[in-house]
Chains A and B, each alone.
Chain A
């Protein structure tokens, strides 16, 4: 017997039924699907088959869900090394969509969807938006970029599947976004949290009070953000701000979403099987322990991902959620495992620095972290490009900004950081993303 929740309070949609199925039944479903997806990947993906054979394993090695630990990990460079189509498990005749995400080293990574994959994607995005309390009758302004990026089309299909009204405005042109939000009576917006903060600032300049508009929900994802940003957004815009999670390698947005309780993100685990591992040893950690999130797709046809290392650090919450969903939650993701560095014995993640910068400036400036060693002591300097939004003709205003940045970084990291404002475009961009950390510490002394 599945207990159905009250529609209005929890944002229930018929597609959300799997969110509430009893745990034991969910585990049976996951095992059945895991066996099928491992068999499919073994049969069609050469890299996966070779890795299993090297371990003298076959697809029949999965007898219980715990047997997933015997399977090899998949990492981002696997997608790059097999660029563009090397991990596809379906012939191109069955692939109806390709997406690509920006890579840090030139070539993007390519992901594929069959018709059935697109339907699953739509259903998990319907469940995401329903969990964010959206429903038929809502007017959703989708300000995620449309194109190769999965954010735009993922949210679009989800909003249509929900039966809401979609405004496919895509990203950019903030003044038009504000005009349409106002004139169309938009009730929800999908975009990155930093873009929404920028939109709020612009609205202030134009004399538009977002709090007076019908807008009531923001569905925010695609970058790390903090609780303090959430509080700022919710009070400045008079909305509820929800965190959603996803990645192109797995499906795009729609892997996990907060519900109205805002206490962790429910993983749609009938399609995406979550594990937490120790990023160094690769050992699986128990629920509740913090580690790297590893995801396996349980139903994907065109591109099954087995034990994909997301590099995102989180934990699986053990307490049941008051919303009544039985699917497990992951803690809000604040940092990634592959970019950590150590200063004076303290672990520092660029994402921590980013959230401090975001909290102070409202938008994300271009920045770089320089590590040096002076008289045996590690020094950390954060160079921040001055943006028109924060630049003032008054020295006092800039010095005050510098002080606030130093204070926010100190509070976030527990480290005294030097902040240096630098000119626009003075930090070198590599192809795509910038190199965030320059380590000039000479370890020989």
Chain B
């Protein structure tokens, strides 16, 4: 149930993001969603893409430092209290390293991407609480619509 997220090291200066984006565009790989984490010195571009294996290979070949991490995608109703139900399920189970969220264009639902220290334990807790954990295909599917 885990999905694959690519992370790229970027220096904190203008023009750093365009290289990988241009490469993925040329190869017809769609960026499903992304988040950019920044520090004073550097940034980390985290990407969920349509074909992560090919994207990781192409980016590595092009000289980027790429990290592949397993993250967990969860579907929630897009309304007050949606997130807190999930956090309650995880409260005594695992630590969240970071997360990001995005809504669907045409639905009352949102997708949350979680990076856990123990993703397998997290999935067990979430599913036990009846929360919908999405597979790779489902995530791409949901975001596309």
- A residues contacting B by CB (< 8 A) are 386-388, 391-396, 398-399, 402, 420-426
Contacts and interface: CB of A to CB of B under 8 A. Distances in A.
A423 B8 CA distance: 10
Contacts of A393: 5, 7, 44, 46, 67, 69, 115
A388 B41 CA distance: 18
Contacts of B37: 395
Contact of B44 (A388, A395, A422, A424): A395
Interface string B82-121: 0000000000000001100000000000000001000000
A393 B9 CA distance: 8
Nearest to B60: A388
B63 interface: yes
A321 B8 CA distance: 52
B9 A424 contact: yes
Given A393-B5, A423-B9, A386 B98 contact: no
Nearest to B46: A393
B117 to A, nearest CB: 10
A386 B7 contact: no
Interface in B29-79: 37, 39, 41-42, 44, 46, 60, 63-67, 69
A76 to B, nearest CB: 32
A261 to B, nearest CB: 42
The 8 A-B residue pairs whose C-beta atoms are closest, nearest first, are A393-B7, A393-B69, A386-B9, A391-B65, A423-B11, A393-B67, A386-B65, A424-B65
What range describes how many residues of B lie at the interface?
20 to 34
16 contacts: A388-B60, A388-B66, A391-B66, A391-B67, A392-B7, A392-B67, A393-B67, A394-B97, A394-B98, A395-B44, A402-B41, A420-B41, A421-B42, A423-B64, A424-B63, A425-B63
Nearest to A418: B41
B10 interface: yes
A388 B65 contact: yes
Contacts of B11: 422-423, 426
Nearest to A389: B65
Contacts, number: 51
Contacts of B64: 423-424
A388 B67 CA distance: 7
Interface of B: 5, 7, 9-11, 16, 37, 39, 41-42, 44, 46, 60, 63-67, 69, 97-98, 115
A424 B64 CA distance: 6
Contacts of A388: 60, 65-67
B38 to A, nearest CB: 9
Contacts of B63: 424-425
A427 to B, nearest CB: 12
B8 to A, nearest CB: 9
A399 B9 contact: no
Contact of B42 (A387, A398, A424): A398
A422 B9 CA distance: 8
A394 B69 CA distance: 10
A399 B43 CA distance: 12
Most A Cβ at <10 Å: residue of B44, B65, B66, B115: B65
Given A386-B42, A399-B39, A422-B11, 18 more contacts: A386-B9, A387-B65, A391-B7, A391-B9, A391-B65, A391-B66, A392-B7, A393-B44, A393-B46, A394-B115, A420-B41, A421-B9, A421-B41, A423-B9, A423-B16, A423-B64, A424-B64, A426-B11
Contacts of A423: 9-11, 16, 64-65
A386 B63 CA distance: 11
A168 to B, nearest CB: 30
Nearest to A394: B97
A19 to B, nearest CB: 47
Contacts of B7: 391-393
A391 B44 CA distance: 10
A358 B66 CA distance: 21
B56 to A, nearest CB: 11
Contacts of A395: 37, 39, 44
Nearest to A388: B65
Contacts of A391: 7, 9, 65-67
Contacts of A420: 41
A409 to B, nearest CB: 16
Nearest to A419: B41
Contacts of B46: 393
Contacts of A392: 7, 67
A398 B8 CA distance: 13
A388 B66 CA distance: 7
Most A Cβ at <10 Å: residue of B16, B37, B67, B115: B67
